[in-house]
Structure formats: C-alpha cells, structure tokens
C-alpha cells in the first residue's frame, strides 16, 4: 500500500530550499568564492589560472602575490587563509568580508591547491 502526501505537505516541501551539491569539503561555495575573489582581489592579485595577464599591482610579486601560486604552498591552510583574510595589511585596502564571503573565498582558493592549471 502506497501512501500519498497531502497537498499542503507537498507544497511545503516544494517551498523548502533544495540542498546544493557539495563543492568542497568545508563551508563555502568555490564558485561564489571565485566571483568574490575576482571582484575584490583581482585588481591587485592574480586569482584565477585562466591565462589573463597579471594585474598592474603585481609588478613586484612581494607586494601583491599571485594567489593561485601562493595557495599551493603546503603551509597555506584553511586556517591560514581565514587569518589572512580577516587581518588588515599595510599595503592592502581594508576590505571587510562577511563570514559567508570569507567561507566562499577560502573554499575557492583551497580548490586551487590540487589544480596545477
């Protein structure tokens, strides 16, 4: 014998947000993180490996490092990225990220660790 859902329960279930597929092991969405990194960081740092030229601020890599390369360092962990993103730096604008933006950017940068391209 099959059971039927009541029409009201069916509508309530339809209204609930569907779970997004897991894009990383931790919190954050790497897709949104890439967009945020490009908008907020891409003016000074290289944030994607799409072959685009270095931003003008990257003339000296010590001032605005290539984040796609820096993240490959084993010392660059989730905790290190979170700390870096939450701390102001003398040569950087003081960008205040929400917790969600931080989660997304960290998820995106960590997704670059295993992607050499």
Alpha-carbon distances, residue 44 vs 54, 83, 109 (angstroms): 8, 19, 16
User: Which of residues 9 and 54 earns the better pLDDT score?
Assistant: 54
**Residue 94 clears pLDDT 90, i.e. is over it:** no
At 26-64, the pLDDT tens digits run: 689 999 999 999 999 888 888 988 877 777 666 666 678
Rounded CA separation 68/6 (Å): 51
Confidence (pTM) = 0.70
Give the pLDDT confidence score for residue 115 in this predicted structure.
62
Give the pLDDT confidence score for residue 8 in this predicted structure.
43
Q: Nearest to residue 113, comparing CAs of 79, 66, 50, 69?
A: 69
The structural domains of the chain, ordered by start, are 27-111 (1.10.760)
């Amino acid at each position: 014998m099959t059971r039927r859902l009541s029409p009201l329960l069916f509508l309530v279930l339809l209204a609930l947000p569907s779970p997004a597929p897991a894009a990383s092991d931790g919190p954050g969405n790497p897709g949104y993180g890439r967009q945020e990194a490009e908008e907020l960081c891409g003016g000074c740092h290289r944030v994607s490996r799409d072959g685009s030229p270095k931003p003008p601020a990257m003339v000296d890599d010590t001032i605005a490092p290539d984040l796609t390369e820096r993240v490959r360092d084993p010392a660059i962990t989730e905790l290190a990225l979170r700390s870096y993103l939450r701390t102001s730096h003398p040569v950087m604008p003081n960008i205040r990220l929400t917790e969600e933006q931080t989660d997304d950017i960290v998820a995106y940068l960590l997704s670059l660790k295993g992607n050499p391209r």
